Amino acid sequence: MVTRIGLIGCGNISDIYLLNAARFPGIEFSACADLRPAAAAAKAESYGIEARSVDELLASDDVDIVLNLTIPAAHAEISLAALESGKHVYSEKPLATSVADGEAILAAAGSRGLRVGAAPDTVLGASIQEARRQIDAGIIGKPLLGVASVLSHGMENWHPDPTFFFKPGGGPVLDMGPYYLSTLVNLLGPVNSVQASGQVGFETRTVTTPHSPILGQTIRVEVLSTVQALLEFDSGAQVTFLASWDVWKHGLRPLELHGTDGSMRVPDPNWFGGVVETAVERGDWSSTATDHFVFGAANWPLADPVHANYRGAGIAEMAQAIAQGRPHRANGEVALHVLAVMAGILEAAGSGARVAIGPRCTRPDALGEAEALTLTGGTRAGMTSQPSLPFAEQDA
């Protein structure tokens, strides 16, 4: 049985979902929609699906799951509308821009017996799953502390219209935080409390993206562009989380964890692959490559692959879980917990107080190689067709 997907939101990120669909025989796209009819028409033509209005897609009988790829400020509205139409929903990150909206989404799904899934699905990637396997095996002992850092100088030099990144609902915590925080929840379990401080490093941003329709325009920054947080987990582990779009260059690793028996370096949680490094006590670093795993081989950009980018694995795993009657891994409970952590970080940065995290979640099951293979029909690499990308390549 193939699960039919209807996509709402035909911006940059939609390409990788549509392109990667060929990797997952359990799903197929029926239609796409966007408030801009021309954008939906262009996407439909590129990928051989039907363009519809948002209302038409929500009412369609050939859509089982709505893939919500709208801007963050519209996530709650579209997800709630999809659930009210009797459809499961899978949303790009974050689940919503407020905890109250996230809770409303999960409540609506629960009352209708429907599922909510949410990005990032990079947590299903080979590197994060290998790191989890080693942690669960006790390679570094009990995790005690760590540092997670996502540092750059923002989106204004590559995104066609980066305006929303610097407006309420945007910022590095809500935009990039889901990758790092979802990874930490998968590795260490839920967060108990947070402390934080933050600042606006640059009051304005000038768009320098080549061919951008707003090239040269200035954007006023309305959100914290730098945040430094301390996360305390239920397990007792403490992790410093650094998120900034005010950094020109740095040498920090994306994620390091240190335990009672050793240390671990985890690759960039924005991608699916990479090398996991561990050191036992004072020993040398030992590397574990993941490019031979299902979701570990470099496949992106298409012309010269350097990253493993299998976005779509989460919705494919969700579709399989629905068919099998089991919980799915990139689920709404984790997404709501991560949203609460991000909201708590921003609250703590404003108040200076420690903030307890209310919405809880259960650490999702690990994804083994045998299960990952069932999502791809037993293949490890490549796809039968690769439509050309009409828009600039981007990360999530």
Of 93, 118, 143, which one is at a domain's C-terminal end? 118
* Residue 379 confidence (pLDDT): 84
pLDDT bin (cut points 50, 70, 90) of residue 381 is: low
Shared domain check, 139 and 112:
no
pLDDT bin (cut points 50, 70, 90) of residue 1 is: confident
Q: Is residue 322 a part of any domain in this protein?
A: no
Do residues 79 and 58 make contact, with C-beta atoms less than 8 angstroms apart? Answer: no
Of 60, 87, 118, which one is at a domain's C-terminal end? 118
**CA atoms lying within 13 Å on the CB side of residue 256:** 10
pLDDT bin (cut points 50, 70, 90) of residue 364 is: very high
pLDDT of 276 > 60? The answer is: yes
pLDDT of 384 > 60? The answer is: no
3-state secondary structure of 105: helix
Residue 125 makes CB contacts below 8 A (sequence gap 6+) with 271, 272, 273, 290, 295, 296, 308, 310, 313
Q: How many domains does the chain have?
A: 2
Shared domain check, 169 and 76:
no
When mean pLDDT is compared over 273-282, 372-381, 383-392, the highest value belongs to 273-282
Mean of pLDDT values over 163-171: 92
Shared domain check, 236 and 110:
no
Shared domain check, 222 and 203:
yes
* Residue 388 confidence (pLDDT): 43
Shared domain check, 220 and 87:
no
pLDDT bin (cut points 50, 70, 90) of residue 169 is: confident
Mean of pLDDT values over 98-111: 98
pLDDT of 395 > 90? The answer is: no
CATH number for the domain that contains residue 13: 3.40.50.720
Task: Tell me which residue of 274, 277, 269, 266 sits closest to 307, measured CA to CA.
Answer: 274
* Residue 80 confidence (pLDDT): 98
- pLDDT > 90 in the chain, percent: 94
Q: 217-275, pLDDT tens digit by residue? A: 999 999 999 999 999 999 999 999 999 999 999 999 999 999 999 999 999 999 999 99
Shared domain check, 244 and 195:
yes
* Residue 385 confidence (pLDDT): 40
Q: Is residue 320 a part of any domain in this protein?
A: no
Show the domain range for 78: 3-118
Phi, psi of 30 (to 5 degrees): -95, -40
pLDDT of 35 > 70? The answer is: yes
Mean of pLDDT values over 182-190: 98
Q: Is residue 389 a part of any domain in this protein?
A: no
Instruction: Report the alpha-carbon distance of residue 247 to residue 235 in Å, rounded.
Output: 31
Shared domain check, 90 and 136:
no
pLDDT of 382 > 50? The answer is: no
Average pLDDT along the chain: 95
Shared domain check, 177 and 111:
no
Q: 290-344, pLDDT tens digit by residue? A: 999 999 999 999 999 999 999 999 999 999 999 999 999 999 999 999 999 999 9
CATH number for the domain that contains residue 214: 3.30.360.10
**Peptide linkage before 72 cis (omega within 30 of 0):** no
Mean of pLDDT values over 90-95: 97
Shared domain check, 131 and 17:
no
- Characterize 42-57 residue by residue with b for buried, 16 or more Cβ atoms within 10 angstroms of its Cβ, and e for exposed: bbbebbebbbbebeeb
Q: Is residue 392 a part of any domain in this protein?
A: no
* Residue 127 confidence (pLDDT): 98
Shared domain check, 50 and 150:
no
Helix (H) or strand (E) holding 197: strand 191-199
Of 118, 152, 168, which one is at a domain's C-terminal end? 118
Strand-pair category, 65-68 with 3-8: parallel
Shared domain check, 184 and 284:
yes
Shared domain check, 146 and 272:
yes
* Residue 140 confidence (pLDDT): 98
Q: Is residue 395 a part of any domain in this protein?
A: no
